[in-house]
């Protein structure tokens, strides 16, 4: 996640967090818990001994009182000769409301849960398959997985209030605060520092990079790894009358139609995507802006072309006024088979009882078909391998948080006219103040939440220095690492990024 839409990323389950608003006497706050274990992994062709530190870190207010407990799991190379100069990468997911379980157990962690790579079958119920990460990065960087307040084991404590953390700016400030505390406690101010975020986690990454420049403790980052970027929500929010989203989602619809053999047959995916890019920029944009000023002939021509790219019938395109919303595309593309496709990943398919609903009524098959495996794997891994014993459940996705989230980008009391969230300008300004910071953007062709074309559109504007951006693409969706060939490709791409 990740994104505040009807299909908010990974908000498969909604958890009511007990005690979030309870007022506690700060003197009754227990000592933060920490669980340390030793392990070894093969990484980069080497045997790497490492320590796993699963722990709570208390954030404090201006009076020095603990107000929040952030849970993190750090993997630290045990025999590093000069730890102060070893790279460290901070990792989180998005939502807002998602814990770091997805990147932890799916991509970067030393042990991973394996789900159906080709999106053909539901991973169903236990048992699941937990395997060593043969593409781990611990030879290159230490890793710190962070769960923001309200996710995982993280929560407010003492005089803390959730409203001080559940917002775009508030969240960025708390994560920046955590990073400074962790860096200080571990003597890592000289270490090269990276952030890896997914979906809303990329929104957070840009905001955190900007926040780290303030508070009298400027911490310059070496790079950001943005997986399924969501920096400008105009391009990743499929709703009526949002012209930007009609444009940015079209190539992803075309890619998904190509995958399901509904469009572009006889052409490679790359060739079909380049054809769709050109149509989107040169023809579809004028069509959308002309609206009802189009002639009958122009409407007919546009409908035929959109049918060609999306695999939907010309009649359906015309009935949609040349503007197809993503939930409707999910429901209509394979309607002849009675199937709805995934939002996170258009390769996934779900068999639904109601074949006439306006979008998948069971939820996102790309989410509900794998979430059980990730949740079970994380809990099993924590208890059996990291020896974690906590007095509360690990919350993978918190629906309460997303419902109460503050998107306001300016302080309370300041004039603000609501608009789509866009942190790209913050990133652009941070990159100009810190010219050594580089950015990798990883996009899945079949991602129907954060479309790959939106990444191209976003990084072509907003004052971004395009030559400093590394764009990579994968034949999978939002969590491209669930597809084994792309998991390997993404690992290698990140390895090159960290090594350059």
Position 15 confidence tier, pLDDT thresholds 50, 70, 90: very low
What pLDDT does residue 6 have? 38
Position 122 confidence tier, pLDDT thresholds 50, 70, 90: low
What pLDDT does residue 319 have? 97
What does the block give as tokens for 368?
């509900």
Average pLDDT over every residue of 297-312: 98
Q: How far apart are CA 299 and CA 294, in angstroms?
A: 6
* Portion of the chain with pLDDT greater than 70, in percent: 94
For the chain, list the domains and their CATH numbers: 26-234+370-499 (3.40.50.1820), 240-366 (no CATH)
Q: Specify whether the CB–CB gap between 193 and 219 falls below 8 A.
A: yes
What pLDDT does residue 338 have? 92
What pLDDT does residue 409 have? 86
pLDDT exceeds cutoff 90 at 288 = yes
What pLDDT does residue 123 have? 66
Q: Which residues contact 52 (CB under 8 A, 6 or more apart)?
A: 36, 37, 38, 39, 73, 74, 75, 76, 110, 385, 386
Quick: pLDDT tens for 327-386: 999 999 999 999 999 999 999 999 988 878 888 888 888 888 889 999 999 999 999 999
pLDDT exceeds cutoff 90 at 144 = yes
Quick: pLDDT tens for 57-105: 999 999 999 999 999 999 999 988 888 889 999 999 999 999 999 999 9
Average pLDDT over every residue of 230-258: 97
- Looking at 169-183, 202-216, 227-241, 363-377, which range is the least confident one? 363-377
Tokens 């000592």 correspond to 31
What pLDDT does residue 10 have? 38
Q: Specify whether the CB–CB gap between 200 and 230 falls below 8 A.
A: yes
pLDDT exceeds cutoff 60 at 218 = yes
What pLDDT does residue 4 have? 43
Higher pLDDT residue, 329 or 409?
329
What pLDDT does residue 7 have? 38
Helix 269-279 and helix 243-259, axial crossing angle in degrees, nearest 10? 160
Average pLDDT over every residue of 297-324: 98
CA 380 remoteness from chain centre: 23
Across 32-167, where does the E strand assignment appear? Answer: 34-43, 46-60, 66-77, 88-92, 111-114, 129-132, 142-147, 155-156
Tokens 């004052």 correspond to 463
pLDDT exceeds cutoff 70 at 9 = no
Bridge partners, 145 (sequence order): 73, 91
Quick: pLDDT tens for 454-500: 999 999 999 999 999 999 999 999 999 999 999 999 999 999 999 98
Q: How does the average pLDDT of the chain come out, rounded? A: 92
- Looking at 18-32, 98-112, 314-328, 354-368, which range is the least confident one? 18-32
What pLDDT does residue 478 have? 97
């Amino acid at each position: 996640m990740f994104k505040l839409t009807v299909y908010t990323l990974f908000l498969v389950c909604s958890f009511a967090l007990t005690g979030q608003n309870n007022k506690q006497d700060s003197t009754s706050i227990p000592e933060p818990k920490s669980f340390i274990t030793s392990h070894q992994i093969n990484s980069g062709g080497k045997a790497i001994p490492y320590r796993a530190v699963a722990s709570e870190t208390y954030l404090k207010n201006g009076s020095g009182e603990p107000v929040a407990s952030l849970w993190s799991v750090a993997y630290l190379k045990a025999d590093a000769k000069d730890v102060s100069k070893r790279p460290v990468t901070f990792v989180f997911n998005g939502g807002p409301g998602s814990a770091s379980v997805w990147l932890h157990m799916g991509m970067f962690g030393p042990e991973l849960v394996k789900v159906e790579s080709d999106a053909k079958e539901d991973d169903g119920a236990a048992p699941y398959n937990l395997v060593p990460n043969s593409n781990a990065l611990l030879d290159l960087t230490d890793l710190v997985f962070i769960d923001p307040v309200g996710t995982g084991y993280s929560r407010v404590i003492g005089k803390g209030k959730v409203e001080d953390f559940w917002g775009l700016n508030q969240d960025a400030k708390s994560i920046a605060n955590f990073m400074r505390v962790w860096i200080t406690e571990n003597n890592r101010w000289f270490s090269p520092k990276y952030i890896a975020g997914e979906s809303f986690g990329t929104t957070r990454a840009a905001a955190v990079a900007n926040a780290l420049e303030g508070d009298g403790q400027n911490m310059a980052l070496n790079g950001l790894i943005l997986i399924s970027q969501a920096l400008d929500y105009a391009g990743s929010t499929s709703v009526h009358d949002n012209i930007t989203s009609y444009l940015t989602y079209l190539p992803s619809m075309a890619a998904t139609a190509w995958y399901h053999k509904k469009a572009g047959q006889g052409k490679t995916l790359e060739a079909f995507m380049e054809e769709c890019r050109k149509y989107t920029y040169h023809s579809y944009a004028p069509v959308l802006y002309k609206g009802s000023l189009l002639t009958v002939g122009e409407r007919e021509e546009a409908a035929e072309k959109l049918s060609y790219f999306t695999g939907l019938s010309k009649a359906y395109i015309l009935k949609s006024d040349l503007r197809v919303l993503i939930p409707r595309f999910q429901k209509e593309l394979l309607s002849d088979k009675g199937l709805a496709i995934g939002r996170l990943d258009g390769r996934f398919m779900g068999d639904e009882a109601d074949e006439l609903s306006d979008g998948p009524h069971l939820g996102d098959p790309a989410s509900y078909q794998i979430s059980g495996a990730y949740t079970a794997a994380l809990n099993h891994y924590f208890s059996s391998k990291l020896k974690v014993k906590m007095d509360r459940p690990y919350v993978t996705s918190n629906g309460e948080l997303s419902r109460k989230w503050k998107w306001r980008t300016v302080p309370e009391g300041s004039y603000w006219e609501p608009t789509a969230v866009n942190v790209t300008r913050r990133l652009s300004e941070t990159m100009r103040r810190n010219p050594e910071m580089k950015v990798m953007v990883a996009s899945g062709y079949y991602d129907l939440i954060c479309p790959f074309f939106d990444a191209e559109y976003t990084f072509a504007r907003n004052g971004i220095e395009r030559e400093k951006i590394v764009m990579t693409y994968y034949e999978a969706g939002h969590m491209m690492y669930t597809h084994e060939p792309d998991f390997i490709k993404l690992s290698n791409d990140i390895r090159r990024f960290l090594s350059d």
